[in-house]
Amino acid sequence: VANGCKELGYQELAEKLQHYTETQPQIKNSRKREYVLKILYSHRSHLTPEEVYLAVKQEIDPKVSLSTVYRILSFLEEAGVVRQIDLGQEGKHYEIESGCHHDHLICSSCRKVVEFFNPDLEALQEKIASAEGFTLLGHDMKLQGICRECREKKN
Amino acid sequence: VANGCKELGYQELAEKLQHYTETQPQIKNSRKREYVLKILYSHRSHLTPEEVYLAVKQEIDPKVSLSTVYRILSFLEEAGVVRQIDLGQEGKHYEIESGCHHDHLICSSCRKVVEFFNPDLEALQEKIASAEGFTLLGHDMKLQGICRECREKKN
DNA sequence: CTACATGCAAAGGGTTTGCAGCTCA
DNA sequence: TGAGCTGCAAACCCTTTGCATGTAG
């Protein structure tokens, strides 16, 4: 993501999570919550709940359950430290809320996901929305294409 | 959709479907297929499979089954006369393949969907994709906002 | 000790599939 | 008449929920 935005580090995300739990006094700390955040942070890709579950299980704690992962993902989303993204047909994916807005470019061949940010695009969206009488709240855009590697592989 | 593109009429869509069935000699004609196409054409909105099912049932033929609607929607998609679109969390939606590319603007309050086309946006996407080494195949974009009516209602 | 967090298994919702009967050509 | 089409019910997959147990504070 080539723009001036500085992405949050793991420590900052953990603090944001910590702060959220403190605003809700009935919430207790939980190891598994940290594990899920750590996995989403270290795998810099976009994981499905199932993939998060397997990664936590293999890399940190063999006794997690899938339902806990689901519960934790919803929790982290509410806390604003992770975000759900839609990459097409392949179900829900989660990524950490890095604090830097970006969109996604997906290779139709190898399924690689590249993040990008383009200020002109943001400006254009504002223009389109207001032309239709809308106050823009957000957007979601994905580009599908073939990446350089896949293109060269085919030749 | 304010651009120079002329949208296909129902007759043209039916012909396109007809042509597709002829390229696949084992396929037979079917009333229900026409019904589904007709419903998607007449309801100019974006319907879920369930909504298509209910509309066919109420407006044309009370004895359709939901599974048939699912099968037909896949069929029509393959024939290139309908298209699946993703409007967010609310599940799969289908719209007719009008032949005029457009994107969607969704009101977060009343859920109204407005179609738009912007040539600058198309050009910008090409630029972004090639900057990342991708050959662009397609894209998918939705803007979320509050429409004029909803905004005025709140004031 | 009490309330939240977790694992397990069961329930849900949306979609697909197997099969017997129906329909088109 | 035979292959494709359809309805029905069951199977499926992904996700959520109920409940008994574990654990943080």
Structure token pair of residue B144: 């979320």
Residue A2 has pLDDT above 60, yes or no: no
CB contact under 8 Å between A146 and B138, yes or no, is no
Amino acid A143: pLDDT: 95
pLDDT band (50, 70, 90) for residue A89: low
Collapsed DSSP state (helix, strand, coil) of residue B62: coil
Query: Per DSSP, what are the bridge partners of residue B70?
Result: none
Query: What are the Cα distances from residue A142, in Å, to A47, A106, A115?
Result: 16, 7, 10
Quick one: pLDDT band at residue B4, thresholds 50, 70, 90?
confident
Q: Is the CB of A66 under 7 A from strand D?
A: yes
- The residue of chain B nearest to residue A148, with distances taken between CA atoms, is B133
Q: What is the mean pLDDT of residues A150-155?
A: 84
Average pLDDT over every residue of B49-76: 97
- Tell me how far apart the alpha carbons of residues B74 and A89 are, in angstroms, rounded to a whole number: 14
What confidence score (pLDDT) does residue A88 get? 76
Given a cut of 60, whether residue B5 has pLDDT beyond it is: yes
Q: Which nucleotides of strand C lie within 7 A of protein CB?
A: 3-10, 14-18, 23-25
What per-residue confidence (pLDDT) applies to B90? 73
Give, as one character, the DSSP assignment of residue B47: B
Band of residue B86 on the pLDDT scale cut at 50, 70, 90:
confident
Would the pLDDT of B89 be above 70? no
Cβ(B85)–Cβ(B104) below 8 Å: yes
Residue B2: its pLDDT value, please? 55
Query: Considering only CA atoms, which of A141, A143, A109, A116 is closest in space to residue A128?
Result: A141
Residue B33, both tokens: 């297929």
Residue-level pLDDT at A24: 83
> Quick check: B92 and B47 in contact, CB under 8 A?
no
Q: What is the pLDDT of residue A155?
A: 67
Ranked by mean pLDDT, the top range of A59-68, B20-29, B91-100 is A59-68
How large is the average pLDDT for residues A18-23? 92
Percent of chain B with pLDDT over 90: 81
Average pLDDT for A113-129: 95
Chain A nearest C-alpha distance from B145 (Å): 4
The pLDDT-based confidence of B44 (bands split at 50, 70, 90) is: confident
Query: What is the arithmetic mean of pLDDT over B41-45?
Result: 91
Polymer length in residues for chain B: 155
Residue B8 in contact with residue B101, Cβ under 8 Å?
Answer: no
Which residues of B fall below an 8 Å CB-CB distance to A?
A: 86, 88, 105, 107-108, 114, 116, 118, 120-121, 124-125, 128-129, 131-148, 151
Contact A102, A117 (CB under 8 A): yes
Cβ–Cβ of A137/B129 closer than 8 Å? no
**CB atoms near residue A38 (< 10 Å):** 17
Neighbouring CB atoms inside 10 A of A45's CB total: 11
Helix/strand/coil for A115: strand
Determine the 3-state secondary structure of A114 from DSSP: strand
Return the amino acid letter for A86.
Answer: D
Higher pLDDT, B5 or A94: A94
Residues 6 or more apart whose CB falls under 8 angstroms from that of A82 comprise: A37, A40, A73, A76, A94, A95, A96, A97
Rounded to whole angstroms, the Cα distance separating B63 from B83 reads 25
Predicted confidence band at A1 (pLDDT cuts at 50, 70, 90)? Answer: low
Does the structure show a pLDDT above 60 at A128?
Answer: yes
Rg of chain A on CA atoms, in Å: 18
CB contact under 8 A, A140 and B141: yes
What residues contact residue B80 under an 8 Å CB cut-off, 6+ apart? B16, B20, B97
Q: What is the pLDDT of residue A93?
A: 94
Mean pLDDT value across chain A: 93
Query: What is residue A153's predicted lDDT score, i.e. its pLDDT?
Result: 86
> What's the pLDDT score for residue B154?
73
Q: Which nucleotide across the nucleic acid strands is nearest to B69, CA versus C1'?
A: D6
A20/A127 Cα distance (integer angstroms): 35
